[in-house]
Structure 1
């Protein structure tokens, strides 16, 4: 039975038969008649005829043409029917089969609201009829489709069904046919502009235009025509057209269509702020495994988006988008582009309305901007009279709140007088309170509270006295001392409370955080634990959050020289996702790093060595910077200088790679350790450009050419450097070039011209015609270098990875030319005046006497130089 039913359902007329059963209330005996009639009709007309005939009243049912069937006698397999069978006539008017259309409506609808009387519902059950009715992408056979009739031309429910069918079967070609049917075949159809159905039509046709540009202008002209006739438009048109074009990186088309919508009135000047995400976060960013390629592509795409944004702003005068634009750029880490947009918007008379709109930009410029940018922003803030940026006159939140509370406190009086009244033996507390109320005093200070509480015998009595004062209508000024006294009394910490009340510190001193922190450190180092606990309790009132107290403990251990304990505090800070304050970072640098002279290497540190000092600071910053701790670019430069000058190359390379990874312009693929925290500022690459400036790149090449000299391996050519990223082995002298190549591949902008100059300078120092350097380390490297000029040049080219390092001059000219750049006469004269110590000169002569070719050549070239440029005679004493 089941296979037979499945075969029946596969037949073309099965759907029509089941629909007849579901739509009519006739009995099973009538099914034979309808089935026979349906088998005799054309397939596309069966459904409508059955429905109309079944639903019509008996008196109004149409008579179908007589359909003669041959008379057959009943057989044994089939029993004859016991009721008469009436023959049905087939109507010739095909228009009569369509049900009457409902009035068009743009309101939201649901499936439950649709009935079988609508053409859309009827067509859905008949794919052949639906295919015929939806074929409207031409002007042939006008009048043969339902939509050709005036009563159906504006039935958008029917149009939606036709569009759904064409999209499912033909994709964009089907959408194109429906659009041509609505605009070419029928001239007066206007799309709805409100409701879910309007969103469906506009998104389909705009999407078609974005994929096939020839139709996008037609869709926009249709929207402009509706706006000019009715004064309304689809509210999402601007984002769907301009935003999508920007999202695809088609900035020129987006700017052109923005001008078109602007001229027609469909776009307002401030609509540009609605597509900021597509401007600076386009979906067309390429996916590449090469970091350098990805960074360049991202920067180019964002630069193109910024150019398009400026072009759209120029053709929309009167815009007020400063706040959204700057806020969006700063929140996404594009501080460099925010500075450029700030200058552009200000030039076009678009200014911030409040100081908060440029507060993030101000903080960025203070940390990562140049001196010129900082001065420009400060002068602009002063011109706009934004007092919040005046750091000299601004108040902290705590001071401002305290001043506000003092203003609300009522009439002020001399706090010392109240303290003397309380301390006078004949006067009890009730009498003093009554006197203060009689004088109109409504607020008392910490000195009076101190005299009130110091004479109490227990914590409960202290609380009773405080409640008595408040109950009388006199308020207590909000300061550290009263809050701390009440807190310790409630916690019954009698020893700490007694130390606080009998301390010789003035209540105003308790409000000074710097003094209390110095007390904390001094008491900790002296192991005076009672005073230490008191200072800690006072500071806990200043810093109710745990991050502030962790900062205090970190600075305390650093000041005491307990670096292991300070490192444990940093671990706790990192675990909780908190950050060290700028004050703690500055204190770390001040206390740990030994001071050094400018242009001089680091001095031996105490108790740590110079290298250990830098690495301790680096390990601390490695754990707190990902959580958002701010470290300035000059501080990173100082750490790199100390490692580079001290020739600690492995640690130097490690720090460089970590900095690029941490402050890279590319968002990291791996999940962040602290996803709920803000990423550190400077993600736009500005801090990397400040760290790895041109001078630092030249210094990296120079430090790479000056390895540590070991007397035991002089002449040994196995001095090679293993690249930690690729594992390849390179000559020790070109390790700086290898590092710069890795930084370039990671996205750092490397100035190739300056790398070439630095490399040629180091080659001249080692292999040029002998002219002694004023630095002893250079003279020693020249004497003991185990490599030849050809080997170093070939290795430098291999380390850089392409032929552009020397521009191919090493092939067209002798490599000797690379090591002998042009020198002025004054430079040669300075070299001839270099004084070589006698001991070093004796070593050079001894090596020449033993037959060392390098020493012989240096002696000969130096003598020639001194003959050409005789040194100046020394002045006598």
Structure 2
């Protein structure tokens, strides 16, 4: 019976009910205090009960005649009958509940005793029937104890869907609330939404966005959000997601860089036994200590200023993991995370003295001398200079100084066929060599027989206290051997590149592009593996792939990689954006259109760059206003008016302080997000994009119809849908931009129109642009019709009487004359 009961209690539903009863005992404490330890049948046969029942007056509740405290049995529960609400309680069976004036701030605490009303009040995951719930009342909206009561009920009744209903109620139905960040209520609310987010990725993104908005508005945050999300990903073995969310939540949810260690505490306190995840997790698996430490090292690479040396080393040494402690010691020291005091290093020295090799202890001892011996010369000299018992027997004198082992010399030793690996290893131990370099490691791997033999020899080196270093070659050699990638491993060992060249990311990227262009897949796979080891599986590797496809001219693949990058909440770097613009866009001189490239359409290249930048900016990246101006100019110079109009309107809506754009992940959430940039900053960006020169150019491009023969059939569409002459399309676009919030130079619009009228209807003077002369010949519209349509497009008369006089003078008495041609020699007048 006991094991069966334990199994029942361990069920998630039972745990949820028990947790609810413990944390919210309100409904039980309000039960009437009349519970007996005997059954009701025995109680009714009691003469004392019959006598008391006969004395009860009609209409008077029986519980008022209870026995005194002395004669009453002690009980921890108070029980009363759960009653339904009367008909006049404010609940309408047809329209739901209407909030009455009689609801006091504490009246909702009776909800736990009325299941029907609790069901109604907790149904807030929609925007129907606004005003029929308690949370619709402003006096109850910020009562998060009420929200907690509703959340617990929906969780018990509907599970994750119930939690989602409360989240939608907070964010959509009510909106604008600031969740509490301190206390038990805040912990339950936030943790419930985090748990829901791990089952529905869109909710996790919404929660992170909301926390950032809350921080920007109030300067407050829930202190456990980083640990709850990143730590949970680490427990599930999802290292890549943990690193991505670490970079996303690092500001402002990581108070101190040292707090990254808190995410590794829950996972079985650094024991060498694998962690067994409970059923129900998304990716149940066994995660060893090496994998957890690998995740810690990856997160440390993306965290500046961490000082976790003492925390990590002490946790590892408490579990007896000397090998892992030495690995973390070398890694943290290379990262600049040194022990703060000699006490942090003392336990590692003592543990290595008793359980490690002499060479390893020698190496740590030299490090301790360099780091602390000068500062603690008197107090630590005895401890540092005391050799172990084994070393004193083999070395009665002083400790042998650490030998400097040159990498090229070690490579020649490993390449000597007369010496096998065991002989070389014994010699290295005898001379106290602490580490070997990548060249020696390459020669050792060359003589090995496959990946398993390499792993075996690497293990023997580590057991002998000989490190292989932390170079890219050594890390990649171990990784490829573990993954059993024999072909890439063979190419790495036989490569003609010096191991130091593998540390240069720029060189490897140029090689990757070259191998990809000539389709040398073996060298491409090797170079890609090197870059993965250098840059990791993060945004930097995505940037490399984007630049690779751009260099190869593969725009479709570039767009696909950008979408994959944005789907993982990563954004291309500014270097990648600059590279894309320089490679994709043709050269252009100031005032002249782009140079026509063979097999490349100028319109297509500008459209491609605009589409990519559009998605990147929606994800949170910043693009220089000069780049947007260049794209608009290219659209106008190539007479791609539809793309020009779409680009201008999108920029105005995106950067306008009066508009909000939907999040790109609309499939997961249809809510709007708050613009990342402040409104004042957005307004400045709009001013820098739509300068007065660009506004003049938009009007001029509207007057330019290419080819000129198209002017007879092309019509512009006004704001109200009416058909206008094609020359007014620039005026229509400026009016739309003004309605969105773009500041216009209104005085310059008539002047720019006057210049275009001079070209179309002025005196037939010579023009150095053939398209202007051709458009003048093909123009079928009279000036009065164009002026009338301009006023209709603008919505009000654009030309005053004074401006109209200027326009007439410009058309019939132009203010400029054609330049006289330069004479090549003296002329003779007959």
Normalising by the residue count of structure 1, what TM-score does the alignment of the two structures yield? 0.48
User: What residue number does 1:790 align with?
Assistant: 784
Preserved contact between residue 627 and residue 679 of structure 1 (Cα < 8 Å): no
Secondary structure at 2:448's aligned position in 1? Answer: coil
Please report how far the alpha carbon of residue 743 of structure 1 lies from its aligned counterpart in structure 2 after TM superposition.
1.9
Q: 1:835-850 to 2 correspondence within 5 Å?
A: 835=820
Query: Which of 724, 727, 732 is the matching residue for 1:733?
Result: 727
Q: Distance in 2 between matches of 1:28 and 1:732?
A: 97
- Could you tell me which residue of structure 2 aligns to residue 304 of structure 1? none
Alignment of 1:741-780 (within 5 A): 741-767=735-761, 777-778=771-772, 780=774
Alpha-carbon distance in structure 2 between the residues aligned to 1:822 and 1:480: 73
1:516 touches 1:539 (CA, 8 Å); kept in 2? yes
Change (3 A) 1:791 1:814: farther
Q: How far apart are residue 744 of structure 1 and its match?
A: 2.1
Q: 1:29 to 1:207 in 2, by over 3 A?
A: closer
The alpha-carbon distance between structure 1 residues 799 and 875, as it changes in their structure 2 partners (threshold 3 A), is farther
Aligned to 1:752, what secondary structure does the other structure show?
coil
1:668 is matched with which residue: 661, 670, 681?
Answer: 661
| Contact kept in structure 1, 2:654 and 2:660, CA below 8 Å | no
Q: 1:709 to 1:493 in 2, by over 3 A?
A: closer
Q: Is the 1:764–1:820 Cα contact (8 Å) retained in structure 2?
A: no
Comparing 553-562 with 624-633, greater Cα deviation is found at 624-633
Contact 2:761 2:811 in 1 (8 A): no
- Equivalent in the alignment of 1:860: none
2:819 to 816, 819, 834: 834
Aligned to 1:184: none
State the alpha-carbon separation in 2 of the partners of residues 398 and 435 from structure 1. Answer: 40
Please state if 1:801 is matched with 2:799. no
Distance 1:28 1:323 in 2: 63
1:609 to partner: Cα distance: 1.5
Given candidates 674, 695, 701, the residue that maps to 1:703 is 701
1:505 Cα deviation from its structure 2 partner: 0.3
Q: 2: CA distance between counterparts of 1:875 and 1:114?
A: 120
Please name the residue that 1:447 is paired with: 439
**Taking CA–CA contacts closer than 8 Å with sequence separation of 6 or more, which of the two structures ends up with the larger relative contact order?**
1
* Deviations 1:646-693 (CA, angstroms, capped at 9, x unpaired): 211122112223333444442235874376999885474254443223
* Residues 670/593 of structure 1: CA separation in 2 closer, same or farther (3 Å cut): closer
Q: Determine helix, strand or coil for the equivalent of 2:470.
A: coil
Larger radius of gyration: 1
CA shift digits 1:288-308 (9 cap, x unpaired): xxxxxxxxxxxxxxxxxxxxx
SS at match of 1:736: helix
Please report how far the alpha carbon of residue 437 of structure 1 lies from its aligned counterpart in structure 2 after TM superposition: 4.7
Measured at CA, do residues 679 and 509 of structure 1 come closer, stay the same or move farther in structure 2, by a change above 3 Å? farther
Identify unmatched segments of 5+ residues in structure 1. 1-23, 39-46, 58-110, 116-123, 128-166, 173-202, 209-246, 249-320, 329-354, 360-394, 837-871
Asked if 2 retains the 8 angstrom alpha-carbon contact of 1:705 and 1:736, the reply is yes
In the alignment, is the contact (CA less than 8 A) between 2:660 and 2:674 conserved in 1? no
Cα gap change, 1:326 to 1:719, in 2 (>3 Å): farther
Residue 626 (structure 1) aligned to one of 613, 618, 631: 618
TM-score by length of 2: 0.50
For the pair 1:495 / 2:484, whether they are aligned, the reply is no
Alignment match, 2:341 = none
Distance in 2, matches of 1:546 and 1:526, equals 26
How many residues align? The count is 509
Query: Secondary structure of the residue that 2:724 maps to in structure 1?
Result: strand
- Indicate yes or no: 2:716 matched with 1:721: yes
Q: Tell me the CA shift for residue 779 of structure 1.
A: 5.2
Matched position secondary structure for 2:592: coil
d(CA) in 2 for partners of 1:642, 1:430: 69
CA drift of 1:552 comes to: 3.3
Take 1:694 and 1:26, find their aligned partners in 2: how far apart are those partners?
Answer: 99
Q: What's the CA shift for 1:430?
A: 4.3
Q: How many Å apart are 1:469 and its aligned residue?
A: 0.9
Q: Is the Cα–Cα contact under 8 Å of residues 708 and 775 in structure 2 kept in the other structure?
A: no
Query: Take 2:487 and 2:564, find their aligned partners in 1: how far apart are those partners?
Result: 30
Secondary structure class of the residue paired with 2:781: coil
- For the pair 1:815 / 2:804, whether they are aligned, the reply is yes
What does residue range 516-527 of structure 1 map to in structure 2 within 5 Å?
516-527=508-519
Q: Structure 1 residues 471 and 789 mapped into 2: Cα distance closer, same or farther (>3 Å)?
A: same
Q: Is the 8 A contact 1:628 1:678 kept in 2?
A: no
Would you say the 8 A contact 1:637–1:691 is kept in 2? yes
Provide structure 2 residue ranges, at least 5 long, that are not aligned to the other structure.
1-48, 69-75, 89-98, 105-134, 141-175, 178-214, 223-249, 255-299, 306-329, 339-362, 367-403
